[in-house]
Structure 1
Amino acid sequence: MNSLIIDGLEKSYGDLHVLRGMSFHVNPGEIYGFVGSNGAGKTTTMRIALGVLSSDAGEVRIGDTPMNDTLRRTVGYMPEERGLYPKSEVRKQLIYFARLHGVAPARAVSNADSLLERLGLTERAGDKVDTLSLGNQQRVQLAAALIHDPEVLVLDEPFSGLDPLAVGVMSKVLKEYADRGTPVVFSSHQLDLVERLCDRVGIIRDGRMLVEGTVGELRARGPRAFVVRVDSADSSWAGSISGVTSTEVDTHGATVVRLDDNAPADVDQRILHAAMSAGTLRSFAPLQIPLTELYQEAVQS
């Protein structure tokens, strides 16, 4: 397997500059979360990667080879807007998509039946797509992206409209493909899912990559905070420490101590000593800032 490489993409529509040097890569076996607000450039990037749109500059590669029609056949693409035939039966449609990708007839049937079972759709195989719930239509759309055993997966909002059970099924399938070495990139507004599933995350705004890395790396770049549980009347014990910007008591009764970027190197020790002086210390740990907060910090800075 080779990496999917997005290298310096530029795209404009008249005076509207949609992509501005968009660059990132997805390694073999990696799940990459591509996040940003509506209009940030996520879908445009994916459409250029698949050849649906052309770029003004830059290129898309798989390994060292620029994307071409042959390589596109190896990519599984799931668009945000469903690309299914609503009056066609689910199983027949999947077999048809497999044959369009050049899959042999017997293998097309086998792949369709296997995916229907894995995605919990076997009982709906003979139903027309427009009779399915939106969640089941989304499962069929995923099956259509996987039907030809792709070597790269590009998924635009794959979890949109899914119930928790369907989210679990789809997450498991994506992990299975990553485990076999497939580069997987998906966009999503559901940042809790991105945080849970992705090896790395890229946050974009106005067609530019703002920050990327593992969630741990993004946390290291973001604001620092500690969660302290101490038997004390209130959280005022931390307010006078150099580098502390705010304190608050969370729903569990712990004090959240937030720091500024210029906090002293030994600020953690200062907080610890102040907490021990204020009362009986129950726990002391860095705050695991959720991706939602890291995202807000990145796009608003």
Structure 2
Amino acid sequence: MCGKERIVASDRKTVEVSRVYKSFGGTTVVKDISFEVRAGEIFGLVGPNGAGKTTTIRMLMDIIKADSGEVKILSEVLHESTKNRIGYLPEERGLYRKITISETLDYLSALKGFDRGLARERGRELLQRLGMLQHQRKKIDELSKGMGQIIQFLVTVIHDPDLVILDEPFASLDPVNVKLIKELIFELKGRGKTIILSTHMMNEVEELCDRILMIDRGQAVLYGNLAEIKSRYRNNSVLFEGEGNWNGIEGVVGSKDHGKYTELFLDGHTTPQEVLAALMRKGVRIDRFEVSTPSLNEIFIQVVEGER
């Protein structure tokens, strides 16, 4: 599946979190967080390191208990049978070091109640897809850090879970393996699976996620559809690259030089289409012209600085 293709998510809720709090030693690390994750979407749980993302995920997985609030997974409070429908890649990786890749996949899929024959078939398919089938008899402690991370991801999805929770999944991966993991994530989405991606890497969120919850210092600061959020924080400006005199165009109230291109700031009554038409009338050569959209990292800085 092409990474750019978007599959429409369902309105059915896979995860529901309502007014959750968590403190450790008198310090509140998650404060009044509420969100929902819909079936078939890629949902980003984003924010800087130490924001409370991993604590939130551990409450979803019932590894730690919320002090107050409610968490529902697949329409109910999490219990053991529901856990078999979840694939969880924790931030702290851990595999049995003295057994082979094949043995690892067999053993951990069996713990999830997955059919052994199906697990072996799926394991071979995934290993072949990632170019690792020839390594299936290697022990885990013989693998590089990046290869170990790939196996950890395969363990997370081998039992065909309905909900996949990934905490910093791209750590220690080279660009080739990052691309492969992204393709697998999009394929999971295309099959109707729900993915929660927790990361501080905003560029990965922009590429992958449909909706996000942004956390800072344990509190939600931004929540909703990613495209709508970017539109909401968009400057009334355009990015222009080319040659010629653009000065004097009506409605352009300022500019900023970015090296190869210039950002033109428009007044509240001027549209990008009007500026483009004016540039063409002036005979300016246009190599690039697009509406300026802030990056998620820029939005985060703007929101957090406003909160503080």
Q: Same fold (TM over 0.5)?
A: yes
Corresponding residue for residue 296 of structure 2? 291
User: Match of 2:192?
Assistant: 181
- Write the distance in 1 (CA, Å) between the matches of 2:95 and 2:247: 59
> Which of 41, 45, 53 pairs up with 1:34?
45
CA displacement at 1:269 relative to structure 2 = 7.5
- How far apart are the structure 2 equivalents of 1:37 and 1:204? 8
Structure 1 runs (4+) greater than 4 angstroms displaced:
229-233, 235-238, 267-279
CA contact (8 A) 2:234 2:292 kept: no
> Which digits, 9 at most, give the CA deviation of each residue in 1:39-87, with x for residues without a partner?
1011001111111111111222134322222212210000011121122
Contact 1:89 1:129 (C-alpha < 8 Å) held by counterparts: yes
Alpha carbons of structure 1 residues 115 and 277: separation in structure 2 relative to 1, 3 Å: closer
1:226 aligned partner: 238
Unaligned runs of 5+ in 2: 1-11
Alignment RMSD, CA only?
Answer: 2.6
User: Are the structure 2 counterparts of residues 264 and 135 from structure 1 closer, same or farther at C-alpha, using a change threshold of 3 Å?
Assistant: same
Aligned-residue offset at 1:231? 4.3
For 1:269 and 1:182, locate their aligned partners in 2 and report how far apart those are by CA, in whole Å. Answer: 40
Distance in 1 between residues matched to 2:219 and 2:148, nearest whole Å: 32
Residue of structure 1 aligned with 2:110, choices 78, 99, 103: 99
| 1:280 paired residue number | 284
Unaligned runs of 5+ in 1: none
Distance in 1 (alpha carbons) for counterparts of 2:125 and 2:272: 53
SS in 2 for 1:83: coil
Equivalent AA in structure 2 for residue 228 of structure 1: F
Check whether the contact 2:87–2:157 (CA below 8 A) recurs between aligned residues: yes
Match of 1:146 among 157, 162, 170: 157
Q: 1:148 to 1:63 in 2, by over 3 A?
A: closer
Q: After TM superposition, list the pairs within 5 Å mapping 1:214-293 onto structure 2.
A: 214-224=225-235, 225-229=237-241, 231-232=243-244, 237=248, 244=253, 247-252=255-260, 254-258=261-265, 264-266=268-270, 280=284, 282=286, 284-293=289-298
CA distance in 2, matches of 1:128, 1:286: 51
Q: Distance in 2 between matches of 1:272 and 1:175?
A: 36
Q: CA deviation at 1:155?
A: 0.5
Separation in 2, partners of 1:276, 1:147: 55
Counterpart of 1:23 in structure 2 is 34
Q: What is the aligned partner in structure 1 of residue 201 from structure 2?
A: 190
**Distance in 2 of aligned mates of 1:266 and 1:237:** 14
CA contact (8 A) 1:6 1:22 kept: yes
Q: Is the 8 A contact 2:22 2:30 kept in 1?
A: yes
Which residue among 69, 75, 90 is the counterpart of 2:80?
Answer: 69
* Map of 1:300 onto structure 2: 305
Q: Structure 2: how far apart are the matches of 1:229 and 1:112?
A: 49
Aligned to 2:8: none
Alpha-carbon distance in 2 for matches of 1:163, 1:129: 18
Provide the C-alpha distance between the structure 1 equivalents of 2:241 and 2:125, rounded to a whole number of angstroms: 51
1:115-136 Cα deviation digits (max 9, x unpaired): 3223332111111112211111
Corresponding letter in the other structure for 2:183:
K
**1:167 CA displacement:** 0.8
Q: How many residues align?
A: 293
CA contact (8 A) 1:219 1:289 kept: yes
1:87 matched residue in structure 2? 98
